């Protein structure tokens, strides 16, 4: 047997793909070990497939496996015997365990496919379920037949906690939509559904003890105990735990509407429709508060068997506490120094309640306090530094920063997001032969305070390196430093805002330009500093402490998400997050990931039933007034939703950041990133490096010609539906860019150049086209900028 290395059959992998251990099989997450025989072959399948199971009862899993094989092949499978003599697929389980998954459930498995059939061997049912998903991904309808390649796979997850948060509180999610996401989670080998059930804008489950929660604070949209048990069973059948979240003591406006006597201010309260951090907060000094909390824990514990229960605990606005004289006196009497100490007091009592009901506390960063026992689990939205401190102090933690899928970001950004905090590798150590230059910067945002900080670029013996300091956050190394001229520089760095790329001009002692946050430009100003600033070192736990990091969770907060676009926002990007949590750390080649992700995108719609494409098509069809939606599909090739929190902040500025803001625009139908623009970047890079690459030049011309020919049809649609009127300028700009693209492609292909005046004129056109319009960005601007720079450099 040979360790499986990269082959190119059926895939177009760039040279950089050979740096990663992942190969060309359509598998995601990539397994721990994949081997192919020296003489490669395939197990040919027919409609007479049979499956046997030994060692445990997998319930309906075998039927589901056969149904999905039928979907993937288009066959009607022949009935199989109860105990087939020579099964095509054999599933051997070493020991029988309870069907309810636990945090330490064994998910390891091996899969061997040869001429005799396919064998999945696992210690428990949970490993068998994971192996079945791998097997399904391997089934290919080839030129001659349907087959599974001969392969031996040994697999187990890197992290035990691999979750997805679904937010039913802000916009309600029907049961069938939740079940479909559970199917997707199973396919991606995610194993924890974090179900966010309460928030300021709604209480989403029935309480026997406190019925007014759903009577007054749910708008009639809530889950019954039987429905929640149904979700728990559905998830457990697929090896997925369900951890419910109730928010306490903040994010409590819904509680305030139903039971104002529990709050820290008298009210009156009305249903909260706006998004954000709001004032209502439970009163930690009242015994009634803890009676309420125990009732909630008791009722949820009777429904959700998982040992963990999430209590939220984030974003507590303490203004009601500070204004309540009785609470302030209580704090003085109990020697509680500040609001954080008061929240810790509340959490200690809540932890006792949880322990009584045999549950462990999960909460967001804000619950972290030395007065709480080490049994709690911290979920971090504040990032790797906060998580590093948790691990250093001996607490368990999971990461969500960088995995927020409600933010439209590139899949590559999520894929690079490593759970274990990284050090700087001495990038900020200034040697005698180094020449550092530091600039301060101020970046105004559309909502909230401006971002401030500094960055330093260092010219050393081996070239340029650098680092960036955001105020109050740890220092980060920067990548891809490029001086585009004597005074314009760019580099990249991953931040909590997404991939961040400053494009700045440094002249004499001032700095100007913009930071690209994802695809959205934010103007920036600054000045040259006299010396390198002192920074905050990253918090990097040692090897033993890293064992406290249990994994992570993708989060889909629902301010900008409703059920009809749920799949568009999650899939296929969630497969990349799942791989980061399952696969080895050195499975990190981005080009290879995107190749396999494309396979997962197609496979998941057929085999799993995910709806990212049909949901988009439904939106486009509605926007096209039930007519031909092809012009919108073509336009979408050039366009992306504005990334980072740009869309939320624009809604806030316009007074539309609330529950009833229609999520029915062109932007809502778009995927987080344009595959066409990503491919254009590759074609452009190849053409710039080799002007004789006629294949890349022709591919670019084809795209630009298609965009131009689409203009009249897209403009006609924009005039026929008021919901599309705002994208008329976008259509016109894409048409202009197509003309510019054709000209620049021809210039680069023949190694022509432009004078400075014409370059400046085209750059001005590109800058204008890059502006955010109706919450979208024309992402095609960026490959065109690369072409334009090539006309200067030749």
Superfamily of domain 31-155: Chitobiase/beta-hexosaminidase domain 2-like (3.30.379.10)
pLDDT in tens, 423-440: 999 999 999 999 999 999
pLDDT at 81 exceeding the cut of 60: yes
Q: How many CA atoms lie within 13 A of 567 on its CB side?
A: 25
Pick the catalytic residue from 315, 392, 452, 765: 315
Span 238-287, pLDDT tens digits: 999 999 999 999 999 999 999 999 999 998 999 999 999 999 999 999 99
Find out whether 37 and 621 touch, Cβ atoms under 8 Å.
no
Amino acid 83: pLDDT: 87
Cα four-point dihedral sign 140, 178, 163, 640 = positive
Any idea how long the chain is?
794
* DSSP assignment string, 204-222: -B--SS-THHHHHHSTT--
Condensed to tens digits (0 to 9), the pLDDT of residues 31-78 reads 999 999 998 899 999 999 999 999 999 999 999 999 999 999 999 999
Mean pLDDT, residues 748-754 taken together: 94
Annotated active-site residue 315? The verdict is yes
Q: The sheet that has 451-460: what strands, in order across it?
A: 476-477, 463-470, 451-460, 435-443, 520-528, 510-517, 498-507, 488-495, 479-483
The tens digit of pLDDT for each residue in 597-609 reads 999 999 999 999 9
pLDDT tens figures, 762-793: 999 999 999 999 999 999 999 999 999 999 85
Q: Classify each residue of 756-775 as buried b or exposed e, where b means 16 or more C-beta atoms within 10 Å of its C-beta.
A: eeeeeebeebbeebbebbbb
Question: Per-residue pLDDT for 6 more than 80?
Answer: no
Dump pLDDT digits (tens) for 586-636.
Answer: 999 999 999 999 999 999 999 999 999 999 999 999 999 988 999 999 999
Domains of the chain, residue spans: 31-155, 435-528, 611-793
Residue 350: is its pLDDT beyond 80? yes
Mean pLDDT, rounded, of the chain: 95
- Long-range contact pairs involving 330-338 (C-beta distance under 8 Å, separation at least 24): 330/285
Mean predicted confidence (pLDDT) in 208-212: 98
> Which homologous superfamily does the CATH classification assign to the domain defined by 435-528?
Quinohemoprotein amine dehydrogenase alpha subunit, domain 2 (2.40.128.120)
The model carries a pTM of 0.95
Task: Summarize the confidence of residues 375-384 as an average pLDDT.
Answer: 95
Q: Is 315 left (phi over 0), alpha (psi -120 to 50) or beta?
A: left
pLDDT band with cut points at 50, 70 and 90 for residue 402: very high
Q: What are 145-198's pLDDT values in tens digits? A: 999 999 999 999 999 999 999 999 999 999 999 999 999 999 999 999 999 999
């Amino acid at each position: 047997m040979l360790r499986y290395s990269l082959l190119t059959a059926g895939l177009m992998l760039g040279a950089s793909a050979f740096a990663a251990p992942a190969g060309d099989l359509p598998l995601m997450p990539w397994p721990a070990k994949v081997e192919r025989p020296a003489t490669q072959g395939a197990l040919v399948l027919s409609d007479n497939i049979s499956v046997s199971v030994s060692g445990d009862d997998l319930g309906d899993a075998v039927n589901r496996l056969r149904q999905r094989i039928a979907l993937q092949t288009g066959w009607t499978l022949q009935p199989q015997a109860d105990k087939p003599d020579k099964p095509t697929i054999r599933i051997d389980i070493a020991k029988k365990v309870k069907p309810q998954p636990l945090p330490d459930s064994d998910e390891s498995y091996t899969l061997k496919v040869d001429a005799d059939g396919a064998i999945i061997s696992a210690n428990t049912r949970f490993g068998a379920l994971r192996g079945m998903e791998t097997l399904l991904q391997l089934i290919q309808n080839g030129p001659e037949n349907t087959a599974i390649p001969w392969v031996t796979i040994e697999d187990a997850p890197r992290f035990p906690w691999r979750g997805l948060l679904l937010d039913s509180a802000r916009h309600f999610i029907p049961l069938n939509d939740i079940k479909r996401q559970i199917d997707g989670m199973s396919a991606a080998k995610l194993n924890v559904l974090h179900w966010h059930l309460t928030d300021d804008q709604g209480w989403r489950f029935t309480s026997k003890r406190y019925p007014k929660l759903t009577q007054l604070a749910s708008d009639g949209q809530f889950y019954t105990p039987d429905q929640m048990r149904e979700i728990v069973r559905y998830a457990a059948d697929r090896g997925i735990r369900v951890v419910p979240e109730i928010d306490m003591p903040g994010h409590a406006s819904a509680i305030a509407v139903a039971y104002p006597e529990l709050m820290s201010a008298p009210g009156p309260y009305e249903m909260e429709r706006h998004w954000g951090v709001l004032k209502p907060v439970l009163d930690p000094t009242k015994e009634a508060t803890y009676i309420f909390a125990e009732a909630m824990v008791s009722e949820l514990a009777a429904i959700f068997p998982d040992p963990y229960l999430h209590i939220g605990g984030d974003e507590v606005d303490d203004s009601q506490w500070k204004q309540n004289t009785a609470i302030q006196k209580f704090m003085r009497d109990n020697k509680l120094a500040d609001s954080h100490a008061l929240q810790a007091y509340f959490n200690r009592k809540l932890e006792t309640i949880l322990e009584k009901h045999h549950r462990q506390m999960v909460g967001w960063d804000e619950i972290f306090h030395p007065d709480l026992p080490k049994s709690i689990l911290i979920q971090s939205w504040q990032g790797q530094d906060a998580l590093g401190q948790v691990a250093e102090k001996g607490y368990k933690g999971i990461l969500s920063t960088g995995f927020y899928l409600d933010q439209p970001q590139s899949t590559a950004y999520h894929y690079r997001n490593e759970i274990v905090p990284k050090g700087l590798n001495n990038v900020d150590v200034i040697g005698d032969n180094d020449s550092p230059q530091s600039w301060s910067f101020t970046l105004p945002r559309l909502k909230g305070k401006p971002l401030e900080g500094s960055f330093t670029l260092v010219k050393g013996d081996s070239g340029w390196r650098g680092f960036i300091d955001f105020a109050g956050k740890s220092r980060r190394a920067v990548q891809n430093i490029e001086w585009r001229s004597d005074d314009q520089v760019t580099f990249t760095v991953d931040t909590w805002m997404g991939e961040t790329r400053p494009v700045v001009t440094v002249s004499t002692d001032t700095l100007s330009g913009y930071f690209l946050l994802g695809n959205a430009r934010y103007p920036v100003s600054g000045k040259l500093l006299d010396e390198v600033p002192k920074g905050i070192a990253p918090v990097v736990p040692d090897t033993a402490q890293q064992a406290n990091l249990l994994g992570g969770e993708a989060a889909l907060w629902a301010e900008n998400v409703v059920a009809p676009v749920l799949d568009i926002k999650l899939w296929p990007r969630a497969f990349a997050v799942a791989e980061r949590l399952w696969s080895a750390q050195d499975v990190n080649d981005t080009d290879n990931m995107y190749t396999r992700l494309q396979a997962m995108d197609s496979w998941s719609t057929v085999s799993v039933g995910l709806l990212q494409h049909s949901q988009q098509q439904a939106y486009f069809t509605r926007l096209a007034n039930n007519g031909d939606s092809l012009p919108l599909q073509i336009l979408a090739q050039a366009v992306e939703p504005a990334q980072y929190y740009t869309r939320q902040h624009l809604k806030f500025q316009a007074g539309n950041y609330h529950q009833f803001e229609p999520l029915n625009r062109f932007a809502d139908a778009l995927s987080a990133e344009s595959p066409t623009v990503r491919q254009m970047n590759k074609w452009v890079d190849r053409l710039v490096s080799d002007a004789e690459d006629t294949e890349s030049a022709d591919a670019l011309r084809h795209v630009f010609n298609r965009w131009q020919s689409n203009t009249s049809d897209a403009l006609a649609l924009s005039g026929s539906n008021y919901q599309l009127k705002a994208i008329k300028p976008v259509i016109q700009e894409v048409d202009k860019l197509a003309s510019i693209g054709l000209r620049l492609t021809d210039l680069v292909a023949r190694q022509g150049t432009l004078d400075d005046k014409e370059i400046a004129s085209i750059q001005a056109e590109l800058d204008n086209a890059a502006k955010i319009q109706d919450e979208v960005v024309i992402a095609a601007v960026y490959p065109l900028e690369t072409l334009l720079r090539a006309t200067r450099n030749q």
